[in-house]
Amino acid sequence: MQHPLLTALRQQRSGVCRCIALSAVLLGLVMQPASAQTYPSRPIRLIHPFSTGGSADLLARILSQKLTESLGQPVVIENRPGAGGNIGMEAAAKAAPDGYTLVVAYNGTMAINPALYPNLPFDPVKDYAPISMLASSQLALVVHPSVPITSVAELIAYAKSRPTPMSYGSGGSGTGPHLAAELFKSLAGIELLHVPYKGSGPAMTDLLGGHVQLGFLPVITAVPHVKAGKLRVLGVTGAGQLAAVPDWPSLAKGLPGYGYTSWFGLMAPARTPPEIIARLNRAIQQAVKVPDVAERFSGEGLELVTSTPAEFATFIAAELRKWDKVVKDAKIKLE
């Protein structure tokens, strides 16, 4: 039989434990909203995993400016180029999950690099907390005027009738234009010869000179050459028509199931508190309502696209599956 005093002591200790546990819960409830209310209280670092220049860099600068205005704290860009964006992404993955380090991620770093690099220094799913998509851009499929085709259907028929494959150029293995062409080749059931160049400039020069027959170019790059009659456009790579070039059809109309877009989004290190992620998402939604943001994006061939964190996470998962299959099927290896 248990001594009454021992029973009383155990009951008292149990009561104290319950009080301590209740106090901890209440303290957590008090402290958690406070962290969201005071965030941010100091400057935020925005890692851009590429060098200055280009549409992605401009996007990062517009974003930093608008987030600074919305959050009331400086959002400072830190360019961390190298290894196809992997260096900057690794730095973001290893940063403290406190909301004071963010990173601009895009389809190359998040969905294509995991299939290309066998020893990637980060996990695209486990190491980041998605905040929101930001923008997307499309490519245009163009051919040299000497090629006697004007549509996707004609291109597929022409490619199948030739004894040797048509050639296309890109800025290098694993680049967006390379992946876009390999997906097209796979779905169309045709052979195309990839000619990788050391950069998009030489690839463009040879396309304009007729040394390669077709290519996938950023829409903003293709427009002046198409207008000048130096290239002929067959369509854009997105699922629907592009507002900037409404008379250019979607390639998916002639090749069902086809789709390639470059996309950009904002992410934080994994385990960043959900209330901070929500605060940043609200800041982005507020920033994109400013009329000049969409105009500045459009001027760089970008379309404004936002999402919830959950929608962004779902989208990334689908992109990972898609491009892993394309890379493996095409046996793409980095040179």
Within-domain flag for 318: yes
Q: Which residues contact 188 (CB under 8 A, 6 or more apart)?
A: 155, 156, 159, 255
Within-domain flag for 189: yes
What is the signed CA dihedral for 143, 147, 151, 156, rounded to 10 degrees? -100
Same domain, yes or no: 149 and 199:
yes
Report the alpha-carbon distance of residue 206 to residue 197 in Å, rounded.
Answer: 10
More confident site: 238 or 36? 238
Does residue 15 have a pLDDT over 60? no
Within-domain flag for 11: no
Domain of residue 248: give its range: 138-253
Q: Of 224, 253, 282, which residue sits at a domain end?
A: 253
- Expressed in angstroms, the distance from the first to the final Cα of the chain is 79
Same domain, yes or no: 133 and 50:
yes
What CATH number is given to the structural domain containing 101?
Answer: 3.40.190.150
What CATH number is given to the structural domain containing 189?
Answer: 3.40.190.10
Looking at residue 241, what is its pLDDT? 76
Within-domain flag for 8: no
Looking at residue 30, what is its pLDDT? 44
Tally of domains in the chain:
2
Report the alpha-carbon distance of residue 115 to residue 202 in Å, rounded.
Answer: 26
Looking at residue 12, what is its pLDDT? 42
Beta strands in the chain, from DSSP E residues, in sequence order: 44-48, 75-79, 101-106, 128-143, 166-170, 192-196, 214-218, 232-236, 261-269, 303-304
Same domain, yes or no: 226 and 318:
no
Average pLDDT over residues 110-125: 94
Same domain, yes or no: 77 and 143:
no
pTM value? 0.83
Q: Coil, strand, or helix at residue 198?
A: coil
Same domain, yes or no: 296 and 189:
no
Report the alpha-carbon distance of residue 112 to residue 327 in Å, rounded.
Answer: 8
Buried b (16+ CB within 10 A) or exposed e, 166-193: bbbbbbbebbbbbbbbbbbbebbebebe
Within-domain flag for 283: yes
Within-domain flag for 19: no
Same domain, yes or no: 142 and 132:
no
Same domain, yes or no: 111 and 248:
no
Same domain, yes or no: 187 and 49:
no
Looking at residue 24, what is its pLDDT? 41
Does residue 287 have a pLDDT over 90? no
